[in-house]
Chain A
Amino acid sequence: MVLIAAAVCTKNGKVIISRQFVEMTKARIEGLLAAFPKLMTTGKQHTYVETESVRYVYQPMERLYMLLITTKASNILEDLETLRLFSKVIPEYCHTLDEKEILENAFNLIFAFDEIVALGYRESVNLKQIKTFTEMDSHEEKVYQAVRQTQEREAHQKMREKAKELQRQRLEAAKRGGSSSLGGRTTHGSGISGLDAFGISSSSVSSTPSIESDLKPTVQKTQKPAARNALKLGGKTKDVDSFVDQLKSEGEKISSLTPASAQSSAAVAKTKIASDVHTESVHLKMEDKLTVRLGRDGGLQQFELSGLLTLRISDENFGRIKVHLRNNDSHGIQLQTHPNVDKELFKTRSVIGLKNPAKPFPLNTDVGVLKWRFITQDESAIPLTINCWPSENGEGGCDVNIEYELEAQHLELQDVSIAIPLPMNIQPSVAEYDGTYNYDARKHILQWNIPIIDGNNKSGSMEFSCNSSIPGDFFPLQVSFVSKTPYAALSATDVVLVDDDSAVKYSSETMLFVEKYEIV
């Protein structure tokens, strides 16, 4: 499956350009290319030639051939696919298909060829992507450049202001007479270090005005890289983010493709849910985290719920807001606000606002404003009960019946996955089941997946049997799920501005996920 080289040659066999994708000597590749015209026969209805060592696959294009050299074990179907792509690329860059035009665009073609094949393997790209890749028109670079320009502009601005101030102080000093310019510089040059240097030059310029115009641009030039470096070290990402957010608020579509770094499946699922939520410039996020341990014979051993309400504001106009909440909780969940949040306001009116109403919430960061926690021994709190009943079948094995039932019927659980441990190297035979299952031989787990559990579809069961096992083998069961309905019955009802209590458009997402849910 290895593509050795892609070449364009004329009808009489002269090679115009060739790009190799594996390491080979020049003598060898030239030899292979030179052999091609002699091997090629016209009048056949196929377009490949095989020699002892390689296979040539070609496609005629007017006065040229697009030629691929592959190994003989190579996959012809794949190669033809690649060849088609190659021959589509050429007219993209060359208007007429002749030697001269190809030579003129040789480098462009080589760049494009590189996008199609990597280390001899075909990349899954189409013509449009190749175009994008070779044009290198990067949005991020533009963003970066824009940010840099703004910063430079700001720096210039500041620099000018400083210079003016210096001038003014010098004048004052001159008026007062005696005070040294050096003192003035040190007091005011405490800003950016780059400006510091400039301060020196401008102050020295005043005595030699004739050089000023010559000197200024060079100094500016030398400053640039320093500024860039400083940017890089500092909050570069922050700036980019803010710029991106701004663009977003202007209606530009920018997808943030943060690669999922989380390991557990729940976390992956979480991000999956999170990714398809629409966000406004005021965004509320409620996360419930559940840790439950149930006994295999029933009984709740541990139940812990912890939650967090975070607020994210991406428009500074909406920095000063209040959030109205509704608390329908009947379990007795303990609530706790952030120290900066006005506690009284919350206690009395269930409204979240800052202690100092004049201060805005921080911009563009997730600010946790409210935490809650709920620990109980009450069995009615269990959202999903699982009854796993292994019974010995008398042949040294076990028949296992499992059923689940949704107790908290207001919840809609998604991607429920129940992992049942199995004895080593034993394949279960599954008789009846709802949902889907798969057997992971490596981890010795039977994974039972139910895409959704809700009030309409609240119970299900599974039956399987296992040879040579004892009932204890099937514990502890691990359950994971996610849900968009929160466990805690908290919800935001309104978001208003502090000033005039006018409503603000906001978006909210709620999420319930399992940290640990096991039956031991």
Chain B
Amino acid sequence: MALAEGPCYTIINSPDIEVPNEMQLKQDLEKGDTNVKIETLKKVIQMLLNGERLSGLIMTIIRFVLPVQNHQIKKLLLIFWEIVPKTSADGKLLQEMILVCDAYRKDLQHPNEFLRGSTLRFLCKLKEPELLEPLMPAIRACLEHRHSYVRRNAVLAIFTIYKNFDWLVPDGPELIANFLETQQDMSCKRNAFLMLLHADQERALNYLASCIDQVNNFGDILQLVIVELIYKVCHANPTERSRFIRCIYNLLNSSSNAVRYEAAGTLITLSSAPTAIRAAASCYIELIVGDSDNNVKLIVLDRLIAMKENENMEKVMQDLVMDILRVLAAPDIEVRRKTLALAMDLVSSRNIEEMVLVLKKEVSKTHNVEHEDTGKYRQLLVRTLHSCSIKFPDVAANVIPVLVEFLSDTNELAAADVLIFIREAIQKFPSLRALIIERLIEAFPQIKSSKIHRAAVWILGEYVDNKEQILEVTEAIIQTLGEIPMVEAEQKRLAGEQSDDGEKPTGEGNIKVAGNKVTSDGTYATQSAFSLAPVAKKEKRPPLRQYLMDGDFFIGAALSATLTKLALRYAELEDDVRQQNRLTTQVMLIMSSILHLGKSGFPTKPITNDDIDRIFICLRTLSERTKEAVEVFQHYCRDALGKMLDAQHEEDQRIMKEKQRAAAKVQPDDPVAFAQLSNGRDNQLGENVFETSLNQALAGTKSTNLSDITSPNNKLNKVTQLTGFSDPVYAEAYVNVNQYDIVLDVLIVNQTNDTLQNCTLELATLGDLKLVERPHPVVLAPHDFCNIKANVKVSSTENGIIFGNIVYDTSINTNVVVLNTIHIDIMDYIIPASCTDTEFRQMWQDFEWENKVTVNTTFTDLHEYLKHLLKSTNMKCLTPEKALSGQCGFMAANMYAKSIFGENALANLSIEKPVDDPDSKVTGHIRIRAKSQGMALSLGDKISSSQKQSVQAA
């Protein structure tokens, strides 16, 4: 137990060596020469680290190893003493340790300064005041040693001793303060200052005041501690702030970047004056620009982002947007992303123009550089420009020409974003429509990707609204589509190229259709010559035709819809019936030609039924002009877009509001903080970040709030009965799940009238669990009870099982009671989390393990089932509420959760239920995907078991 709960300074993960027996070790330690002793000592240390208790060896080591003067042995011994249990089972110090204490004293007076130093360092870790007490004079003497190595470690030793057992050095701070006055060595000064900082701030301040003018000449490590002191003092004592601003400001210009970073952080806690904030922010920005390391850039950016959260600071930082944009020179995409997001949040109407200029310049820079991330960066820039112009409509006109150039980009990502932007802009700013359309028509022929064409075509179809432009667009489309009718054109082309086969082009199409159908039968080889030929000549075709030839008929369907819209609108605008009909027929010709091509067999893939249907609908609408259909084409599309944009906007607003509300919310029963009464802990930046972060790091996050959320996590519900009530030994365990370990608190009751000797709890685990240390045997008096704690280490999210037995000796014989198994619930590790749709899809593609669980339930309502599932799996539903609302007999939802170990778990729910039968049960399945098998399996198990329970309950 001491091992698991006591401090641990060393981990050496050696492969399992065969464990030598204690006799052999003793022999080697006693008789071996120095090298043998070293090797044996290493072995002993590793065994101790692995949890063995070699209590018999201490005496041997004291007698035969301790007197050796070899340096290596001396050092190894220090580690040995660090980890060896120094107390007996009842918590008293071992007798032998007194002998060791004398050895420490000798080492503290050893002529070798390095030995002295490392012994002093070791003493920092010693937690036994009985051992330290006799050493105090020697430690003090070391403060005077002429080697700084000894002195600086002596200071640390005194520091920790004072911290833990202040009665041993009641005058510690004074001693060190005097020491500090006389020191020249930087490390000594730093350590001494460090001690004062923690033990006696008054003295530390006095010292600082006495040398405040020289601070700039101090070494970086000392400066860092000084900054820490100032931070601490000002936290405890906000009135002192004014004294240090000057000093901190000086340190902002320190030669060490680390100091500047720290000073900037402290400066903003000292003062909220705009100048201070500006200085700090500029310092951060300089650090980002100046340091080439991406880690630094990202973390310092995080600090800037944190600063931005504060309203006061945000205002000041708005002026610094242009400086922040300098960071964009860094090549890393992550850095750029963060920078742009930050700049976007800060930009105001005053400097938006400038920012757009810079962004434009950045955009043009990306044109000639080809790098793997350039595409992403371009996309990022486009998005930023997009949000800029949505936020500040004035610049939109300025931005659009730049962005439209991207449409012809080979990179789909950026182009797609441009179109999303244009779509929003065109809907929101009617004044810009003419400009956008003009540009779009210009760029249309240069577009290189079918997706982009598709979207561009849609926008054009939706927003072109005068006669000339309609004709212009149709013209552009026809041009990019090439000669109509297409099948004939293709045949001609084929004929032209293969003059020797030219006599039978008409038959070829038919053969090819047939041939395509046989491909799977293996007769494909005969066709290869024909199918290869067009592929080789790809570039010669107009782009739209090329897509069709490649079998992408979705674009054909989109094109048809657009053309239909254009024709319908033209019919409204143009009075001349002949003109109307001319366009309509032209359009219908294109559509039918697409259909023909789709079925002809020239393209690599034939048209799908879906696309055929859509084109037919368009044709029919044009020919019959049913009122409803026309309505759909003319108005509903645009309305749908408007609604979608509104919904997005609403969502954004809601998130913003929530953020604000979360910040401002004060419960009626919240305690009121009086500034005069508080000890200064909670001023604007909250508690001391250094201490909190350290505590957090050391203790980990307790899952207490988790137990509040879900009722089954109540403490009493987690008690597991391990043996029967009539067993001679009754045992039950409370399972406490921490972040990375499980603590089993086992209560053992002796129900017999005998004394149970050597009562041992033996545990074993299944799954990704590991027992940290074996519990010690106990002696139980008749009807006595005791609590035993056992630590189990967990390293991944997987259902684990702990099983075991209790062994005990009575006066007659040895008995065993087998324990019930303890199942570790995976739910303790799963926390709901959220991610974007793209991330979800990406992960869904990447993850290797899928577990498909069939829904088997008594639920008759789709929504009820989803709720139940979310509750029992702790997952979060990513599909928005709106998309789920209403009854249609189907439901599909995505769910996402993260484990505390950082593993992702994805789930997709697809369920259905006949609408007409209210009593029928929900059917369907759930797919779970995860990176590791364990996660996918355990989550699946969890779902099935929760289903089983609910079925049983019903």
Q: Which residues of A contact B (CB under 8 A)?
A: 1-2, 4, 7, 14-35, 38-39, 44-48, 51-54, 57, 69-78, 80-81, 103, 106-107, 110-111, 114, 118-119, 121-124, 132-138, 140-141, 143-145, 232, 256-261, 263, 438, 440-442
Residue of A at shortest CB range from B692? A73
How many angstroms from the CA of A107 to the CA of B41 in the assembled complex? Answer: 11
CB–CB B115/A136 < 8 A: yes
B13, B220, B694: the one within 8 Å of A15 (CB): B13
Question: B residues within 8 A CB of A21?
Answer: 9
Is A122 touching B697 in the complex (CB atoms < 8 A)? Answer: no
CA distance A19 to B79 in the complex (A): 11
Cβ–Cβ < 8 Å partners of A1 in chain B: 224, 228, 262, 690
Known: A45-B332, A257-B146. A19 touches B701 (CB 8 A): no
8 extra interface residue pairs, beta carbon distance < 8 Å, beyond A34-B795, A52-B701, A81-B258: A20-B9, A26-B772, A33-B11, A39-B902, A53-B696, A124-B219, A144-B111, A257-B147
Contact assessment for A27 and B902 in the assembled complex, using a CB-CB cutoff below 8 Å: no
Q: Which of A38, A53, A133 contacts B117 (CB 8 A)?
A: A133
Q: 5 tightest A-B contacts by CB?
A: A31-B740, A144-B111, A26-B8, A71-B693, A138-B112
- In angstroms, Cα B295 to Cα A57, docked, is 9
**A441 CA to B526 CA in the complex, in Å?**
100
Residues of chain A within 8 A of B184, CB atoms compared: 259-260
By size class, the interface of chain B is 35 or more
Q: Which residues of A sit under 8 angstroms from B694, Cβ to Cβ? A: 2, 22, 71, 73
Give a binary string over B275-297; 1 marks a CB under 8 Å from any A CB, 0 the rest. 00000000000010001011111
Contacts of A442 in B (CB 8 A): 206, 209-210
Main secondary structure, interface of A, reads: mixed
Q: For A14, give the chain B residue with the smallest CB separation.
A: B13
A71 lies within 8 A of B697 (CB): yes
Q: Judge whether B3 and A260 touch: CB under 8 Å.
A: no
Q: Mark B1-18, 1 if CB is under 8 A from A, else 0.
A: 001111111111111000
Q: How far does the alpha carbon of A133 sit from the alpha carbon of B119 in the complex, in Å?
A: 13
User: Within the complex, what minimum Cβ distance (angstroms) separates B766 from chain A?
Assistant: 18
Query: In the assembly, what is the distance between CA of A38 and CA of B12, in Å?
Result: 21
- For residue B795, which residue of chain A has the nearest CB? A34
Q: What is the distance, in angstroms, from A311's C-beta to the closest C-beta of chain B?
A: 25
Shortest Cβ distance from B18 into chain A, in angstroms?
16
Q: Does B751 contact A (CB under 8 A)?
A: no
Q: Which segment of B187-195, B657-665, B708-716 sits at the interface?
A: B187-195
Q: How far is the CA of A15 from the CA of B262 in the complex (A)?
A: 31
Chain A proximity of B42: nearest CB distance (Å): 6
Query: Quick one: CB contact mask for B154-181 with A, threshold 8 Å, 1 for yes?
Result: 0010011000000000000000000001
Known: A72-B696, A258-B146. A121 touches B190 (CB 8 A): yes
Tell me which of A4, A18, A45, A134 contacts B697 (CB under 8 A): A4
Set of chain B residues within 8 Å of A15, measured between Cβ atoms: 11, 13
Checking A75, A141, A441 against B258 with a beta-carbon cut-off of 8 angstroms, the contacting residue is A75
Q: Decide: B112 and A140 in contact? CB cutoff 8 A.
A: yes
Contact with A along B22-33 (1 / 0, CB 8 A): 000000000000
Tell me which of A81, A103, A123, A259 contacts B144 (CB under 8 A). Answer: A259
Chain A residue contacts of B110, Cβ below 8 A: 141
Please provide the chain B residues from 204 to 220 with a CB less than 8 Å away from any CB of chain A in the complex.
206, 209-210, 213, 219-220
- Residue B850 at the A interface, CB < 8 A? no
Would you call B221 and A122 a contact (CB within 8 A)? Answer: yes
In the complex, whether B75 has a CB less than 8 A from a CB of chain A is yes
Tell me whether A27 and B114 are in contact (CB under 8 A): no
B121:A114 contact, CB within 8 angstroms = yes
* Minimum CB–CB distance for B719 against chain A, Å: 22
Query: What does the 1/0 interface line of B281-321 toward A look like (CB < 8 Å)?
Result: 00000010001011111111000000000000000000000
**Chain B neighbourhood of A132, CB < 8 A:** 114
Q: Determine the chain B residues whose CB is within 8 A of the CB of A232 once the complex forms.
A: 109
Whether a CB of chain A sits under 8 angstroms from the CB of B954 is no
Q: Is B580 an interface residue (CB 8 A)?
A: no
Contacts of A145 in B (CB 8 A): 111
* Bound CA–CA A76/B257 (angstroms): 10
CA distance A261 to B6 in the complex (A): 41
Residues of A within 8 A of B160 (CB): 119
Q: Does B76 contact A (CB under 8 A)?
A: yes
- Chain A to chain B contacts (Cβ below 8 Å), 11 pairs: A4-B698, A20-B8, A26-B11, A29-B11, A46-B332, A69-B697, A75-B258, A124-B190, A138-B115, A140-B111, A257-B148
The residue in chain A whose Cβ has the minimal distance to the Cβ of B791 is A27
Task: Name B residues whose Cβ lies closer than 8 Å to a Cβ of A.
Answer: 3-15, 42, 45, 71, 74-76, 79, 109-115, 117-118, 121, 124, 144, 146-149, 151-153, 156, 159-160, 181-184, 186-187, 190-191, 194, 206, 209-210, 213, 219-221, 224-225, 228, 257-258, 261-262, 287, 291, 293-300, 331-334, 689-690, 692-694, 696-701, 738-741, 772, 791, 793-796, 901-903
- Chain A residue nearest in CB terms to B690: A73
Q: Are B221 and A124 in contact (CB under 8 A)?
A: yes
Check A123–B187 contact: CB distance below 8 A. Answer: yes
B906 CB, min distance to chain A CBs, angstroms = 16
Name A240's closest neighbour in chain B (CB-CB).
B111
* Chain B hits for A32, CB < 8 A: 740
Q: Are A73 and B156 in contact (CB under 8 A)?
A: no
Distance in angstroms from A79 CB to nearest chain B CB is: 9
Measured in the bound complex, the distance between the Cα atoms of B212 and A442 in whole Å is 11
B113 near A27: Cβ-Cβ < 8 Å: no
| Complex contact B213–A438 (CB within 8 A) | yes
CB closest residue in chain A, given B3: A26
**Least Cβ distance of A77 to chain B in Å?**
4
Q: Give A48 to B293 CA distance when docked, in angstroms.
A: 11
Of B112, B156, B187, the contact of A141 (CB 8 Å cutoff): B112
User: In the complex, what residues of A have CB within 8 A of residue B300's CB?
Assistant: 76
Residues of A within 8 A of B903 (CB): 38
Give Cα A57 to B796, complex, Å. 22
CB of B10 within 8 A of CB of A46, answer: no
Name the residue on A nearest B291 (C-beta). Answer: A77
Assess whether B698 is in contact with A22, with CB atoms less than 8 Å apart: yes
On chain A, the residues within 8 Å of B156 by CB distance are: 118-119
**Quick check: A30 and B296 within 8 Å, CB to CB?**
no
**CB-based contact B700/A53 at 8 Å:** yes
A232 to B110, CA, bound (A): 11
Set of chain A residues within 8 Å of B15, measured between Cβ atoms: 103
Could you tell me if A38 and B902 are in contact, using CB atoms closer than 8 angstroms? yes
Q: A46-B334, A106-B12 are in contact. Are A77 and B221 (CB under 8 A)?
A: no
Residues from chain B with a CB closer than 8 A to the CB of A47 are: 294-295
- Other-chain residue from B693, B699, B796 in contact with A28 (beta carbon distance below 8 A): B699
Asked if A136 and B71 sit within 8 Å, CB to CB, the answer is yes
Q: What is the CB-to-nearest-CB distance from A23 to chain B, in angstroms, rounded to a whole number?
A: 4
Task: Please state if A123 and B221 are interface contacts (CB–CB under 8 Å).
Answer: yes
Question: Is the pair B117, A28 in contact by a Cβ cutoff of 8 Å?
Answer: no
Q: How far is the CA of A32 from the CA of B121 in the complex (A)?
A: 25
A134, chain B: closest CB distance, angstroms: 8
Cα separation A188 to B8 with both chains bound (whole Å) = 60
With A34-B795, A38-B901, A257-B147 in contact, is A53–B8 under 8 Å at CB? no
Residues of A within 8 A of B741 (CB): 27-28, 31
Return the chain B residue nearest A49 by Cβ: B902
With both chains docked as a complex, state the minimum distance between the C-beta of A46 and any C-beta of chain B, in angstroms. Answer: 4
Chain A proximity of B182: nearest CB distance (Å): 6
Contact A34 B740 (CB under 8 A): yes
**Chain B residue contacts of A7, Cβ below 8 A:** 11
Q: Which residue of A lies closest to B51 (CB)?
A: A26
Interchain CA distance A75-B696 in the complex, whole Å: 16
Closest Cβ–Cβ distance, residue A372 to chain B (whole Å): 31
Give Cα distance in the complex from A174 to B693, angstroms. 86
A269 smallest CB distance to B (angstroms):
13
Q: Which residue of A lies closest to B698 (CB)?
A: A24
Instruction: Name A29's closest neighbour in chain B (CB-CB).
Output: B8
Whether B115 pairs with A17 at a CB distance below 8 angstroms is no
Query: In the complex, what distance in Å separates the CA atom of A227 from the CA atom of B793?
Result: 54
Q: How far is the CB of A257 from chain B (nearest CB, A)?
A: 5
B261 touches A25 (CB 8 A): no
> Complex Cα distance A235/B294, Å?
59
